[in-house]
């Protein structure tokens, strides 16, 4: 056998019984290591600032000014039975056993409960509102308190502008609305109505 034939013979598969003998099955590779457990997801809202107690106190004072404080039942400008600080009795009747005139603590409890509802509605529908500065948080919360989340969501241009920090446009769109002209009033520079006060706050951040 020549040296070339000897070398080639080393690379030929071995024959056994006249048939082809396959190469041995290689040892199976070990399974890949399990991925390290990832950190639990963090919700967006948990990373955003919340309304501080100090800011909420200012909001309460502004709502008392804008809505008024009543200790008996009355009809608002739309004929809705109301009490306390703009508390809608059709939406939420008084707790069982409460009678008029309400006490200061009862008025405060109604207002606290109504604000909790406002925050829940805003977080569910406009979660970015918590990323706003204190003044503009109060503007959005005040509007939601007054008109409800359904009507507030109709202010699409105002909300889009506020979300992108285009506050002058947001303020202008607030004033260009039936809510400003007919519901809460614009007033004058010398004696601003609720809509103008909130629009100025939205535009200027103070």
Tracing tokens 């200027």 back to the chain, one arrives at 204
Find the mean pLDDT for residues 192-197: 98
pLDDT band for position 20 (cuts 50, 70, 90): very low
- Does a structural domain hold residue 102? yes
Which structure tokens are listed for 123? 């977080």
The per-residue pLDDT of the chain, averaged, comes to: 85
- Does a structural domain hold residue 178? yes
Structural domain of 170: 48-204
Cβ-proximal residues to 66 (8 Å cutoff; 6+ apart), any chain: 86, 142, 146, 184, 194, 197
pTM of the model: 0.76
Strands, DSSP E only, in the chain? 15-16, 19-20, 70-75, 81-84, 87-88
- Does a structural domain hold residue 71? yes
Taking the C-alpha atoms of residue 151 and residue 159, their distance in angstroms, rounded to an integer, is 12
pLDDT tens for residues 101-121?
Answer: 999 999 999 999 999 999 999
pLDDT number for residue 196? 98
- Does a structural domain hold residue 74? yes
pLDDT reading at 42 higher than 50: no
pLDDT number for residue 81? 97
Phi, psi (degrees; rounded to nearest 5) at 94: -65, 150
pLDDT number for residue 173? 98
Find the mean pLDDT for residues 180-193: 96
User: Angle, nearest 10°, between helix axes 156-163 and 134-152?
Assistant: 150
Q: From the CB of residue 157, how many other CB atoms can be counted at a distance below 10 Å?
A: 16
- Does a structural domain hold residue 19? no
pLDDT number for residue 28? 59
pLDDT reading at 19 higher than 90: no
Closest CA to 137 of 86, 201, 197: 201
- Residue percentage of the chain with pLDDT more than 90: 74
Taking the C-alpha atoms of residue 29 and residue 150, their distance in angstroms, rounded to an integer, is 60
For the chain, what is the domain count? Answer: 1
pLDDT reading at 23 higher than 90: no
pLDDT band for position 26 (cuts 50, 70, 90): low
Find the mean pLDDT for residues 154-160: 98
Least-confidence region, from 22-36, 72-86, 161-175: 22-36
- Does a structural domain hold residue 136? yes
Cβ-proximal residues to 145 (8 Å cutoff; 6+ apart), any chain: 63, 67, 86, 114, 115, 118
pLDDT number for residue 38? 45
- Does a structural domain hold residue 53? yes
pLDDT number for residue 32? 56
CATH at residue 98? 1.10.530.40
């Amino acid at each position: 056998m020549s040296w070339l034939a000897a070398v080639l013979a080393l690379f030929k598969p071995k024959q056994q019984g006249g048939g082809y003998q396959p190469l041995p099955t290689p040892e199976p590779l070990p399974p890949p290591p399990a991925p390290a457990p990832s950190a639990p997801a963090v919700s967006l809202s948990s990373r955003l600032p919340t309304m501080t107690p100090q800011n909420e106190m200012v909001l309460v004072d502004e709502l008392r000014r804008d809505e008024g404080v009543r200790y008996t039942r009355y009809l608002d400008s739309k004929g809705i039975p109301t009490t306390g600080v703009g508390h809608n009795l059709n939406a939420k009747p008084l707790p069982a056993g409460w009678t008029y005139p309400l006490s200061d603590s009862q008025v405060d409890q109604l207002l606290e409960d109504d604000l909790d509802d406002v925050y829940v509605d805003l977080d569910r529908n406009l979660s970015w509102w918590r990323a706003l500065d204190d003044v503009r948080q109060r503007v959005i919360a005040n509007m939601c308190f007054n008109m409800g989340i359904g009507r507030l969501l109709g202010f699409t241009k105002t909300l889009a502008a506020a979300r992108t920090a285009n506050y002058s446009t947001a303020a202008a769109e607030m004033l260009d609305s039936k809510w400003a002209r007919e519901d809460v009033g614009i007033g004058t520079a010398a004696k601003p109505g609720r809509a103008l006060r909130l629009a100025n706050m939205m535009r200027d951040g103070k």
